[in-house]
Structure 1
Amino acid sequence: MRDLDLTTLRLFVSVCETGNIARAGEKASIVGSAISKRLAQLEHQVGTPLLVRKRHGVVPTAAGQTLLEHARGMLDSAARIERDMQSYVAGGRGQVRILASVSAMTESLADDVASFLRRPANRNIRVDLEERVSPEIVRGVREGLASLGVCWDATEHKGLHARPYRKDTLCVVVPQGHPLAAKRKLRFADTLDYEHVSLPVNSAVQLMLQRNASQLGRTVNHRVVVTNFEAALRVVHAGLAISLVPREVAEAPAASMGLRLVPLAEPWAERRFILCFRDAGSLTPAAQMLVDHLASLAPP
């Protein structure tokens, strides 16, 4: 059976509800003969009579009554689709998926998204967040797995559009009493004599650290690899290794753990994050509104 035509179903429902083809035609501004032709085609399509012609009108057959119930459901669903799509166009409803680095997720992104969703105009927008390492973020956005990616701007993102977001500053976190704890600032080379706790080796930060160590003719000695900064600080607190972490993440927990944060005197210690997406035309109204909100939080 061919796909049922919604216009014909709408007319069929109107005929059943009014009990009269002429009155249904008046409501739809269609001549009765045109409706009769559509109904005959519908009966031919489903292969059974749907209406019984009476002296003063029509009534549905048993098959017609069944079709009437289905038709009402289909028309109701179609109306909801139309309303939802209109809401998307107006920017009041939508779903946005974000892939974000652990730094962005831990520092500010969750709070920034929450502030966006608290606005009354955005109450029907859903934002899904998923943590990924930076190369996977870029690949996921390129492949259409997410509308938006949030990662370090040093990540290779060729082919994607980008807008600035927030920034942070890497520092060295060490236990009190560690040989580096008395330093006022440190060069990256100063840390390479000690074992590190780090994030996964394919994260943007670790790739950058390995590259800088290689330029110094050295390697980073990864004693422990963890997936989040809280675990990294606990490893440092246990005295097993030192770590390079964003000051914005480490400041409060480091104070409670008695850890020392030492500024990192490197030009790359200050990191800027970006919002990356395929192009503005690919963003839904909801995604564009979220991008504008997050970009407005970028420092000057």
Structure 2
Amino acid sequence: MRPDPDALAMFVQVVDSGTVTAAANRLGLAKSAVSKRIAQLEAQLATPLLHRAPRHVTPTESGALLYERARAVLAQLDLVADEVLARSGALQGPVRLAAPLSFGIRYLGPVIADFMRLYERIEVSLDLDDRRVDLMTGGYDLALRAGRLEDSELRARRLGTSQRALCCSADYAARHGLPDYLEALQGHSCLGYANASIHHLWRFRRTGERAGNEERSLTLRGRFVANSGEALMDAARAGLGLVVLPRFLVAEAVRDGSLRPVVIPGWEPVPDSLQLVYPPTPALPLKIRTLIEHLAERIREPFPWDAPFVSPSEWSAPAR
């Protein structure tokens, strides 16, 4: 008998995810349903397809062969379906997208709304969280990320370079002065981002004619750590210390004067790479490719939040 494409798709998902539980979560099915379908596929082909361990599964020799062939077959089926949908103009189905909380609130909502107006049969689930989600096991089709691409298994579409800014309140500057060289930061209260691997490690790069590729990292102290950029910005507004945050988050606060930029001659915070990342499937569904193109068209350089800051004269404060 010919294997059912749905059963093959489940098997590929189990191998990609590494566990039946993770595959079931991604597929939106009960773990028992996925296990039963894989067992039926093994019975149909009269051979074990998976080595099962308590917390991980790996394909057998036969399973590895089926996995490679099934991925290719499913990719071709997806392409055929995409061609038919493209001709009919009827893109449809669910898409799950993850993005940072602050960026999503400020910039992503209207872009997604426009996309859904264009494609009325696509259902979008937008998860906003500053924590970095696991695309492979979390059931996500796509994520927008700011920072370096750490997972080499993922594919990425780069949107551009997004700047970061060192800021504080005018009150903090008046009480404590401002650092005028890099090491002077060690004498200040520096607010830490808890989602970073080392929340008080700040990275700077040299600017100007001597820039080259020189970077410096400083481990700094501070009384406040948070896993939210919004909370860190509120703490900086309240005068609790210096903070390094993406400019898309602090640009409005600098414009209204509740925060002021801090410039250290010859140095600036290392910027982020803004990118869309997605699992390494053989052929992305057309609905995902279409969303990627839409996001890349609407979120592109020059980013509006990276416009130069205008510093009011009252921001000047003596260095200490």
Q: In which range does the TM-score fall when normalised by the shorter chain? A: 0.5 to 0.7
User: What is the CA-CA distance between 1:114 and the residue it aligns to?
Assistant: 2.4
User: What is the CA-CA distance between 1:152 and the residue it aligns to?
Assistant: 2.4
Q: Is the 8 A contact 2:103 2:249 kept in 1?
A: no
- Structure number with larger C-alpha Rg: 1
Q: Secondary structure at the match of 1:223?
A: coil
Rate the CA distance shift 1:144–1:248 in 2: closer, same or farther, 3 A: closer
User: What is the CA-CA distance between 1:86 and the residue it aligns to?
Assistant: 8.7
- 1:124 maps to a residue whose letter is R
Partner deviation per Cα, 1:21-49 (whole Å, 9 max, x = no partner): xxxxxxxxxxxxxxxxxxxxxxxxxxxxx
Q: Does 1:149 align with 2:149?
A: no
Write the distance in 1 (CA, Å) between the matches of 2:251 and 2:167. Answer: 10
Rate the CA distance shift 1:167–1:147 in 2: closer, same or farther, 3 A: same
Match of 1:93 in 2: 92
Aligned residue among 121, 126, 140 for 1:124: 121
- 2:262 maps to a residue whose letter is V
Q: Is the 8 A contact 1:171 1:269 kept in 2?
A: no
Normalising to structure 2: TM-score of the pair? 0.53
Q: Secondary structure at the match of 1:146?
A: coil
Q: Is the 8 A contact 1:172 1:245 kept in 2?
A: yes
1:50-69 to 2 correspondences below 5 Å: none
Q: Secondary structure at the match of 2:202?
A: helix
Q: Is the 8 A contact 2:201 2:219 kept in 1?
A: no
User: What is the CA-CA distance between 1:243 and the residue it aligns to?
Assistant: 0.9
Aligned residue among 163, 172, 178 for 2:172: 178
Q: Secondary structure at the match of 2:94?
A: strand
Quick one: percent identity of the two aligned structures?
Answer: 19
Q: Is the 8 A contact 2:91 2:122 kept in 1?
A: yes
Write the distance in 2 (CA, Å) between the matches of 1:133 and 1:231. Answer: 12
Write the distance in 1 (CA, Å) between the matches of 2:288 and 2:170. Answer: 45
Write the distance in 2 (CA, Å) between the matches of 1:179 and 1:237. Answer: 11
Q: Secondary structure at the match of 2:275?
A: strand
User: What is the CA-CA distance between 1:126 and the residue it aligns to?
Assistant: 1.8
- 1:141 maps to a residue whose letter is L
Rate the CA distance shift 1:275–1:218 in 2: closer, same or farther, 3 A: closer
Match of 2:41 in 1: none
Instruction: Say what the alpha-carbon RMSD is for the aligned residues.
Output: 3.6
Rate the CA distance shift 1:233–1:158 in 2: closer, same or farther, 3 A: same
Match of 2:256 in 1: 256
Match of 1:291 in 2: 292
Rate the CA distance shift 1:87–1:164 in 2: closer, same or farther, 3 A: same
User: What is the CA-CA distance between 1:133 and the residue it aligns to?
Assistant: 4.4
Rate the CA distance shift 1:208–1:277 in 2: closer, same or farther, 3 A: farther
Q: Is the 8 A contact 2:200 2:219 kept in 1?
A: no
Task: List runs of 5+ in structure 2 lacking aligned partners.
Answer: 1-80, 206-214, 303-320
Q: Secondary structure at the match of 1:195?
A: coil
Q: Secondary structure at the match of 1:286?
A: helix
Write the distance in 2 (CA, Å) between the matches of 1:125 and 1:87. Answer: 16
Q: Is the 8 A contact 2:98 2:128 kept in 1?
A: yes
User: What is the CA-CA distance between 1:206 and the residue it aligns to?
Assistant: 4.0
Match of 2:196 in 1: 203
- 1:197 maps to a residue whose letter is L
Q: Secondary structure at the match of 1:281?
A: coil
Q: Does 1:226 align with 2:219?
A: no
Rate the CA distance shift 1:251–1:86 in 2: closer, same or farther, 3 A: closer
Q: Does 1:113 align with 2:112?
A: yes
User: What is the CA-CA distance between 1:258 and the residue it aligns to?
Assistant: 2.8
Partner deviation per Cα, 1:118-151 (whole Å, 9 max, x = no partner): 32xx1221221223446x33xx212352011211
User: What is the CA-CA distance between 1:269 and the residue it aligns to?
Assistant: 2.8
Write the distance in 1 (CA, Å) between the matches of 2:295 and 2:234. Answer: 31
Task: List runs of 5+ in structure 1 lacking aligned partners.
Answer: 1-84
